[in-house]
Amino acid sequence: MILGIVVGIIIGALPGLTAVMAISLLIPFTFGMNPATGILLLMIIYKSAIYGGSISAILLHTPGTPASAATALDGYQMTLQGKASVALRMSTIASAIGSLLSGVALLTLAPPLSVFALRFGPPEYFLLAIFGLTVIASVSSGSIIKGLIAGAFGLLIGTVGVDINIGFPRFTFGLFQLEGGISLVPAMIGMFSIPQVLNLAKETLKTRNSPTPESIRKVKLEKLFPSFTELKNEFKETWATMLRSSILGIIVGILPGAGADIASWVGYNEAKRFSKHPEKFGKGSLEGIAAPEAANNAVTGSSLIPLWTLGIPGSAAAAVILGGLMIHGLVPGRELFTVHAHITYTAIWGFIVASILMGIIGFVVIKYAALVVNISNEVMMPIITALCVIGSFAITGSIFDVWVMIAFGIIGYFLRQNDFHAAPVVLGMILGPMAETRFTQSMVLADGNMLGYIAGRPISVIIFILIVIALLTPFFGNKKGRRKTAAEIVDE
Amino acid sequence: MGFRLKIDLKEIFSLGVIIAICIWLYSVAKNFPEATRRYPQLILIAAVVLALIEMILKTVRSSKADCQEPVEKKSNAVLIRVITVASICVMYVFLVDVFGFFSSTAVFSFALMYYLGVRKPVTLIAVAAGLNIGVYLLFVTFLRISMPQGLLF
C-alpha cells in the first residue's frame, strides 16, 4: 500500500506521465498478486498519481496530469510568492479528504446500485457496451465521430482470434499466436506508454531551445509541517470548499464519461462563486488549490461506481482498471458484491485506509517528489520503455506480446497524431467480446427483429435514449461554444 | 462571398487510410463463414460510414472558415527524431529477443540517451547500470518475475 502510494505520487508528479499510463504499466505486476491486493494497488496508483500531479503544477506551473491544470493557477502563484510549502500542504490535505469521501461514496452507493444490474439481460448488456463506448468517445476525443471510429477499431481488434461460437479463426493471418486473440495488457501498455515516449522525444527538442529557468527548477521547500495554529487557520478557511468540491467531484465521477480533469474545473469554478474573496482566485488563493484537488481526488473512487456495478468506465483510467479486473477473472455486476464480496470490500476498505495514508505519506514524499520532477526526459524515456517491455512480457512470458506492445505503441502514436484517442480503442477491445456474445444472444432472442425486441424492454429503451443523448450532446455543446482545454485555461 | 472548397489533406489522408484498411478487412472477412463474419463486417461498415461523415464534415467546416489559419508545419527535425526513437525502440525489442533483457537494456538506454544529447559519461553509465540493478532487485528478486532470456543475460 505504502509503495503504491509513493510510486503513484512520483509518477503523477512527473510531467508527461499520466495516471492512465501508470495503471496500464502496473497491471501485469498485479497478475501474481491475489485479486484484492492487485485491484487495490491499481486504485491506489490512480488516486496517488492524480494527487502527485499537483506537485509539478504548483512548483513548475506544469500539471503532472491534466486533472491538476486548475491547481496550477493558484498553486504556481503561491510558489512565486515563496509559499510553495503552504500550497503543497493544502493540496495534500484536500486530496486526502476528497479521496476519503470518495471511498465512502463507493462503499455506500455501489452495492445498492449493483442490485439494479440484476434486471439486465443480453440486449441491455449489448446496449450498455455501446453506451460506454459512446460516452468515452464523446469525452476523450475532440470529435465524437473520431472517438466512435476509434471505438470501432477497438471492437474490431476484439474480434481477432478463434470465434468461440464455431471455432473459426478470424483475422489471424496464419499467426498461431493470434488465435487466442490480441493480448489486452500489452496492447494497452503500448497504446498508452509508447506514444508518451515518442512525445517526450519531441519535447527534448523543445526543452533544448527553451530551458526551464533555474529559479523555477530549484524551488526551496521549507516548513512543510505546520504548527497547530497554522493548520487550524488553513482548515478553517478551506473546510467548506473542500467538502463542497468533494461532493461535486463524487457526482461528476459517477456520471459516465466525465473525469478528474472536468471535476477539478467544476470544483474550482464553484469555489470561486461561493468564496468570500473571489478576487484572490488566480493570485494565490488557498481555496483555489483546495477546490480542484478535493474534486479531482473525489472522482477516483466514485468513477468506479458505474464501472463496478454496470461495467461502464467513467474515464480512461477506469477503462484501464476494468482491464485489470478482467485479468483477475472479475466481471462487473452484482457478483462483485456477492460471490466476490471479499475481494471487492477488501479493495474498497483498503482504498479508504489508503486515502488517510496518502495524506500522511504525502507530507513525507513531497520533498523528494519535488526533486524527481527535475528528472530530464532523456533519462525518463529509456526507463519507461524498459518498463513497457517488462510489463508486456510478464503475464505470459512470450516475446510475441512485447512485439504486440511495440506495434500498438506505434499505431497509438499515429492515432494520437491524427486526434484519435487511445481510450475508446482500449474500451472497445475490452467490451468487444462481451458485446459480440450479447449481440448474438439478443439476435437469437429477438428472432432477427432486434429493434422490435428492444422497444418492448423499458430498460433497453432508456439505455437507447441515453446513447442518443450521448451522441448528440457534443454537437449541442459545440454550438454553444467549444469547451476550453485545461491547457488553454492555464495559459490564460 | 464565395464558398470555396478547401481540403484538409492530412485529415483526408488519415481517414482515407482508415477506409482503405476497412475495405481490405471486409474483403478478408468475406471468406469467413456466415455466422462468424456478420459482427466484424457490421463494425467495418459502421467505421467506413463514420469516416466518410467525418471527411465530409471536415471539408465543409474548413471551407466555411473565412480566415486562413496558418498551418503549423512540422519540422523535419521533429519527424526524424520521432522516427529514430521509434526505430531504436524496435531495435531494442529485437535485441531483447536475441541477447536477453539486461544486456540489451544497458545498450538501449546508453544509445537512446546518447542520441538524445546526453554526453556526461557519469549519467550515461549511472542510468544504464541503475536501471538494470533496479529492475533486477524489484522485479526478479522481490516480485519474482522472469525476464526475457537470450544469448547473453
What is the ipTM, given to two decimal places?
0.88
Lowest mean pLDDT among A39-53, A212-226, A341-355, A458-472: A212-226
A189's grid cell: 501498455
**CA distances, B105 to each of A254, A258, B124 (Å):** 42, 39, 12
B80/B135 same-domain check: yes
Lowest mean pLDDT among A114-128, A255-269, A413-427, B5-19: A255-269
The answer as to whether A51 is a domain residue is yes
Buried b (16+ CB within 10 A) or exposed e, B99-124: bbbbbbbbebbbbbbeebebeeeeeb
The answer as to whether A488 is a domain residue is no
The answer as to whether A487 is a domain residue is no
Say how far apart CA B57 and CA B54 lie, in whole Å: 5
Residue A488 has pLDDT above 50, yes or no: no
Lowest mean pLDDT among A157-171, A310-324, B37-51: A310-324
Mutate to test the interface with B, among A385, A401, A406, A425 (most CBs of B within 10 A): A385
Task: Give pLDDT tens digits for A406-432.
Answer: 999 999 999 888 888 887 888 888 788
- Burial of residue A282 (CB within 10 Å: 0-12, 13-18, 19+) is middle
Band the pLDDT of A276: cuts 50, 70, 90: confident
Mean pLDDT computed over A83-112: 90
B49/B91 same-domain check: no
Range of the domain at B102: 76-142
Residue A447 has pLDDT above 60, yes or no: yes
Say how far apart CA A46 and CA A299 lie, in whole Å: 10
Tally the domains of chain B. 2
B53/B85 same-domain check: no
Nearest CA in chain A to B94: A403
| Interfacial B residues in 23-62 facing A (CB < 8 Å) | 25, 28-29, 32-33, 35-37, 39-40, 43-44, 46-47, 50-51, 53-54, 57
The answer as to whether A338 is a domain residue is yes
Of B143, B153, B151, residue with least CA distance to B106: B153
- Distance from the Cα of A91 to chain B's closest Cα (Å) equals 30
Mutate to test the interface with A, among B36, B64, B97, B149 (most CBs of A within 10 A): B36
Mean pLDDT computed over A33-37: 87
* Cα angle, residue A16 at apex, residues A10 and A21 outer, rounded to 5°: 70
Residue B85: count of CB within 10 angstroms of its CB: 22
Say how far apart CA A151 and CA B95 lie, in whole Å: 34
B13/B36 same-domain check: yes
Band the pLDDT of B91: cuts 50, 70, 90: very high
Q: Which residue has the higher pLDDT, A252 or A97?
A: A97
Of A127, A129, A51, A62, residue with least CA distance to A95: A51
Q: Cite the DSSP H helix spans in A311-340.
A: 316-327
Residue A179 DSSP symbol: T
Tally the domains of chain A. 1
Does A168 contact B32 at a Cβ distance shorter than 8 Å?
Answer: yes
Residue B65 DSSP symbol: -
The answer as to whether B150 is a domain residue is no
Does this model's pTM top 0.95? My answer is: no
Does A202 contact B32 at a Cβ distance shorter than 8 Å?
Answer: no
